[in-house]
Structures are given as structure tokens and as C-alpha cells.
A and B are shown apart, each in its own frame.
Chain A
Amino acid sequence: AQKITQTQPGMFVQEKEAVTLDCTYDTSDPSYGLFWYKQPSSGEMIFLIYQGSYDQQNATEGRYSLNFQKARKSANLVISASQLGDSAMYFCAMRRINPNTGNQFYFGTGTSLTVIP
């Protein structure tokens, strides 16, 4: 069974500092995709970053980077230079990459990040 674990229900970070949000996953599939989404209080899920299981380099998107350690099955999100607008829930998700099974995503329970001025 596929499983995503986020062990930090809440995190605090000082503005302009970096923060790491943890995510571990469990799958027996050889091919999969890992995603991070941000959900502000408005409710909409915002796609942040993607890492494919066969990607050799860690993904980066602006201030977001994904620390992918395949052997440890971890996909931690690093946010650099935190801003007040980064305060939100953050979800780690995994997608099985199989053209026959379609798009089924598995989400973690989320981490609530609060940026302190």
C-alpha cells in the first residue's frame, strides 16, 4: 500500500530564515512522482514542486527545493528566505506513474507552517 507520512503537525520559522518540512513515503512501485502543495486558509491547493523517482537531481522552483533521498524514501521540502505569505498548510503527495492506473495521488496529513515576523 502507498503511504505518505508527515511527522510535523506544526512548524514555526522566523521570517527570512530557511525551514525544512519532512516527508517520507512508502511504495513498492519503481516509478512514482512526489509533489508538494501549499494550502492557504482560503482552501485552494497550490502546486509547488515535483520530483520524479528517476530524477538524478533535486528539484528546485524559486525559493522551494526538494531534498530527495530515494534510499531513505524521503522527500523533504526546503523553503528558503521564508516570507509571511508562506504561512499555510503544506502537503506532501505521491503519484503512482502507471498509464493503466491513471492519476491516483496519496496525500500526507500536512504540516502547518507559521512564519513569525
Chain B
Amino acid sequence: KAGVTQTPRYLIKTRGQQVTLSCSPISGHRSVSWYQQTPGQGLQFLFEYFSETQRNKGNFPGRFSGRQFSNSRSEMNVSTLELGDSALYLCASSPPQGQAYEQYFGPGTRLTVT
């Protein structure tokens, strides 16, 4: 079974631009979560989508948004990029049921804002 895939793997943007990142979960997984990882702030939860609905949201400004499609693939968008948005963005999917509800992470998209 294929793992979580994220595209692109690397991205360089300039301040003020917007960016869209894509995540394809493991087949059969309906929950997709997004995280931002920086050296200073660590791993921070952005949002979670389940069955095309945002179920949880972290403490990020409205410039960060996301959506999920009927095939469970998810995208996140960051508008009006700032230098501080440079980070590794990780996507994770979870199986539909099970006690552990562990999250399986993708390789991440490394975004650099210049």
C-alpha cells in the first residue's frame, strides 16, 4: 500500500506570493491533518480534514487555509507569504477506525520564502 505523498517536495517563493501544497493520503484513510515544523516553534498543528470537512483548526492566521476533496486528497494554501512561513509542512493521514488512530506522515514539503 502506498504511503502518504506530498507534492511538491521543495518550493521557493517570494514574500507576498501564495502557495498551494498537495497531500494524497494512504488509500482508505479519510482523515488528513497538516502541520508546520520550524526549528523555533517545533511541530504545530494547522488543521484536520475529515470527509471534506474541516474538523479541527490550530492557532494560525486566516492566510492559512485548506480543503479536502471527495477522494480524500487535501490541499493547503498560504496566501501573502511572509518570511516566517518558511518551514517544513507535513501532512498526515489516519485510518478510519482503530484504537490507536496513529497518524502516518508524508515526506513533507519544504517551503522557503525569500
Contact = CB atoms under 8 A, between A and B. Distances in A.
Interface of A: 33, 35, 37, 42-47, 50, 52, 91, 95, 97, 101-110
Interface residues of B, number: 25
Nearest to A37: B105
B30 to A, nearest CB: 10
A101 B103 contact: no
Query: What's the dominant secondary structure at chain B's contact region?
Result: strand
Of all A-B residue pairs in the complex, the 3 with the closest CB atoms, nearest first, are A45-B105, A102-B55, A107-B43
Nearest to A101: B56
A23 B110 CA distance: 27
B23 interface: no
Interface in B53-87: 55-56
B107 A33 contact: no
